[in-house]
Amino acid sequence: MASLTSIPNPAPRALARGGWLLGRFGRLLVAAAVVGAAVVSGPAAQAQLNQLPQQAVGLQVVEKMGESIPLDVEFLDPEGNKVTLAKYFNTGKPVVLAMVYFRCPLLCPMLLSNLQQKLNDISLKMGEQYNLVLVSFDPSEGPAEAIKQREGLLAGYNRATPRNIRESFAVLTGTAASSQRLADALGYPYKYLPESGEYSHGTVIFTLTPEGRISRYIYGVNYSPETLRMSLLEASDGKIGTVIDRAIMWCFQFHPGSGGYVLHAMRVMQLAAVGLTVMVGAILVRMYFIEVRRRRGGLLAVSQASDSRVAPTPSAQ
């Protein structure tokens, strides 16, 4: 078998670690996010490409960030019904998409197993905050294989799922032309190897906006759950997740070389400046009202003392 672990940046090892600090002053809540990230990158992509076997030549992923995929392309769902990709988009939720083939002996099972683990690890819930679409590019596979994949992945998903989960989790099969049209839009090449009957392909998952625009490419199988979670937050334009999630997302930028999100120092400084400004403002306001109450109390005491010294006027006889 000739398969790739990642193209153009093979199997990056990225680790994103995050945390946040919450402080309180008086009745005002000031939140700031400070997270560190460590990145270990592999050899240069060009050097890797020069060492690729013949079966993998020409399979470099061409990223098409911001471009739209064809939502009118038709596939079959596990029940054998014809569906278009549009069914899983335009729902207000971002989409995780992967192109695989189910009889793959190594890389696709690794990708799917790893993806399932990452989905179990993130706080976002499939079917509620994002959709998942798996597409087979092997035209010999059909609904029977799709059902096995869908039920197996659902059985291993340990989060609570809504009743309509099958409307949000799609395992699709189709013709070679349909798969090729989608792959071309994603910039994701694959190659059939007649001598082995297998496919040579890269290992990558995609996150897309609810409208079907490509938001992020995540390569390999060693990405962190945080990378997947933050790519979904990014694809949703901050419309899913908590307020803290959005604050953390604002403090990070995707680093193409590492395949993960790294802390953006300037944004953290801006957030800290805003927090400091709010805190100083709160102190000044509090001091102002304390001073007002003190002066009022002093004036009242003087007035009462003055009244007590005034003798009563004798009544006229």
Q: What is the pLDDT of residue 36?
A: 32
Chain-centroid distance of CA 205 in Å reads 12
Q: What is the pLDDT of residue 165?
A: 85
Find where tokens 């193409």 sit: 256
Token pair, residue 123, equals 């706080």
Please answer whether residues 31 and 244 qualify as being in contact, where contact means their C-beta atoms are separated by less than 8 angstroms: yes
Q: What is the pLDDT of residue 260?
A: 57
Please answer whether residues 95 and 133 qualify as being in contact, where contact means their C-beta atoms are separated by less than 8 angstroms: yes
Amino acid at 8: P
Q: Return the percent helix, strand and coil in the chain, to nearest 5.
A: 40, 25, 40
Q: Where are the alpha helices (DSSP H) in the chain?
A: 45-50, 107-121, 143-156, 165-168, 176-186, 225-235, 243-250, 265-309
Chain-centroid distance of CA 317 in Å reads 93
Can you list the domains of the chain with their CATH numbers? 13-271 (3.40.30.10)
pTM equals 0.63
Chain-centroid distance of CA 301 in Å reads 62
Along the 317 residues of the chain, how does pLDDT read in single tens digits?
Answer: 444 444 444 333 333 333 333 333 333 223 333 233 333 334 444 444 455 556 556 789 999 999 999 999 999 999 999 999 999 998 899 999 999 999 999 999 999 999 999 999 998 999 999 999 999 999 999 999 999 999 999 999 988 777 778 888 999 999 999 999 999 999 999 999 999 999 999 999 999 999 999 999 999 988 999 999 989 999 988 655 444 444 444 444 444 555 554 544 444 454 445 555 666 667 777 777 777 777 776 666 666 666 665 555 555 44
Q: Which residues does 311 contact at the CB level (< 8 Å), separation at least 6?
A: none
Please answer whether residues 155 and 116 qualify as being in contact, where contact means their C-beta atoms are separated by less than 8 angstroms: no
Cβ-based burial of 152 (10 A; exposed 0-12, middle 13-18, buried ≥19): middle
CA dist list (Å): 278 to 11, 116, 186, 199: 43, 42, 44, 58
Token pair, residue 159, equals 């989060």
What pairing do the DSSP bridges indicate for beta strands 37-40 and 74-76? unpaired
* Cα 232 from Cα 92, distance rounded (Å): 12
Q: What is the pLDDT of residue 312?
A: 57
